[in-house]
């Protein structure tokens, strides 16, 4: 009798294992496109970093190009424009971290406090829409509005007796314009994950806080923000991995001879040296340098987060 029960139990366990595998098969299949994406566009291209140690010739390929060791790296760090590139890149990256990164969090907090569902949905739709507009269109709209010659807003200001806003001819306007355009385009889309995390917070915590006499600000400070803290930390660490990536398309569209001394970053520098001058090995060096800086920041931030008792990305 006991043997029969043991056999029945083993059969039940075996039958449970097989359906478990079959039941999860669709989820495994859903992972495949993501794995292929990272394999094809992230991991395989890493082989191309070898050309940073070569004088690469596309006509003979990677394996037959001349090896020059660290000569390309020495060239980068001794380049006359290197200090300017570092300064400008870090300036834009700092604005991104200190001003753009908190913007989606603030928007998510405001939307989470909206009590009228209709108002909330309308605001969300309006704020999400710019994410789907390309930088070419955004910069074109800005040019149409603020062009020194025939910009709509500048024409109105002139007719009202005010001076023109020289967004594209005065270098000091470039960085604020870049930041505001970034916030306008990405703030709404970036708030989605924070809103989803806020929705998972236990409502009973807010009810208990109300009973204790906590107002809305206290509830946000003691319940909402701690509830999304892990997500904020993880996204912040991951953002540091792209610290040096300012975004070529956006900054390139805003760049002109009048503001190039404050807008020239590594992304635009790679375009000039790698594409226009066809110096692919040197471009690979710049890419490697950016990657090393990003990796160092990620590892350092993750270690600091763990020392402070928080959960990192690994």
- Kindly state whether residues 156 and 211 are assigned to the same domain: yes
Last residue of some domain: 18, 41, 69?
69
CA 234 to chain centre: 12
Confidence of residue 18 (pLDDT cuts 50, 70, 90): low
**Are 17 and 91 contained in the same domain?**
no
Q: Is residue 281 part of a domain?
A: yes
DSSP codes of every residue in 102-128: HHHHHHHHHHHH---HHHHHHHHHHHH
* Residue 12: exposure state from Cβ atoms within 10 A (0-12, 13-18, ≥19): exposed
- pLDDT confidence tier of residue 10, bands split at 50, 70 and 90: very low
**Residues 23 and 125 both lie in one domain:** no
pTM of the model as a whole = 0.84
Average pLDDT over residues 240-261: 92
Whether 251 and 120 share a structural domain: yes
**Pair 10, 108 in one domain:** no
Q: What is d(CA 310, CA 229) in angstroms, rounded to the nearest whole number?
A: 9
Q: pLDDT above 90 covers what percent of the chain?
A: 61
Q: Is residue 146 part of a domain?
A: yes
Q: What is the mean predicted confidence (pLDDT) over 146-166?
A: 83
The domain boundary residue, chosen from 46, 69, 92: 69
Considering the domain architecture, whether residues 23 and 107 belong to the same structural domain is answered as no
Q: List beta partners, residue 55.
A: 66
Whether residue 313 lies inside any domain: the answer is: no
Domains identified in the chain, total number:
2
> How many angstroms separate the CA atoms of 171 and 208, rounded?
53
Note the helical H segments in 147-223. Answer: 152-159, 174-199, 203-211, 216-219
CB atoms within 10 A of CB 108: 23
Which among 15, 41, 69 is the end of a domain? 69
Q: Which structural domain range is residue 128 located in? A: 79-307
- Domain check: are 285 and 138 in the same one? yes
pLDDT at 308 > cutoff 90:
no
Q: Report residue 21's pLDDT band, with 50, 70 and 90 as the boundaries.
A: low
CA dist., res. 44 & res. 152, Å (int): 48
């Amino acid at each position: 009798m006991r043997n029969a029960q043991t056999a029945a139990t083993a059969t039940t366990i075996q039958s449970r294992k097989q359906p478990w595998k079959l039941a999860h098969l669709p989820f495994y299949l859903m992972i495949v496109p993501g794995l292929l994406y990272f394999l094809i566009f992230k991991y395989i291209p890493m082989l191309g970093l070898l050309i940073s140690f070569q004088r690469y010739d596309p006509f003979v390929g990677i394996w037959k190009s001349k090896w020059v060791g660290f000569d390309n790296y020495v060239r980068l760090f001794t380049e006359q424009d290197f200090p300017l590139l570092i300064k400008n890149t870090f300036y834009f990256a700092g604005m991104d971290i200190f001003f753009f990164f908190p913007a989606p969090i603030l928007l998510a907090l405001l939307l989470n406090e909206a009590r009228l569902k209709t108002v909330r949905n309308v605001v969300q739709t309006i704020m999400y829409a710019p994410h789907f507009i390309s930088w070419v269109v955004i910069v074109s709209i800005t040019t149409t509005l603020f062009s020194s010659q025939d910009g709509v807003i500048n024409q109105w200001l002139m007719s009202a007796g005010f001076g023109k806003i020289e967004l594209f001819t005065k270098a000091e306007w470039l960085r604020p314009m870049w930041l505001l355009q970034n916030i306008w385009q990405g703030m709404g889309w970036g708030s989605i994950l924070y809103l989803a995390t806020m929705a998972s917070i236990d409502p009973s915590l807010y009810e208990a806080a109300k009973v204790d006499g906590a107002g809305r600000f206290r509830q946000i400070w003691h319940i909402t923000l701690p509830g999304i803290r892990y997500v904020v930390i993880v996204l912040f660490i991951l953002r540091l991995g792209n610290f040096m990536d300012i975004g070529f398309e956006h900054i390139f569209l805003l760049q002109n001879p009048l503001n190039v001394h404050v807008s020239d970053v590594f992304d635009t520098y790679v375009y000039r040296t790698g594409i226009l001058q066809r110096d692919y090995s040197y471009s690979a060096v710049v890419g490697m340098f950016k990657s090393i800086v990003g990796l160092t920041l990620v590892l350092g931030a993750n270690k600091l987060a763990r020392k402070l008792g928080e959960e990192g990305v690994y």
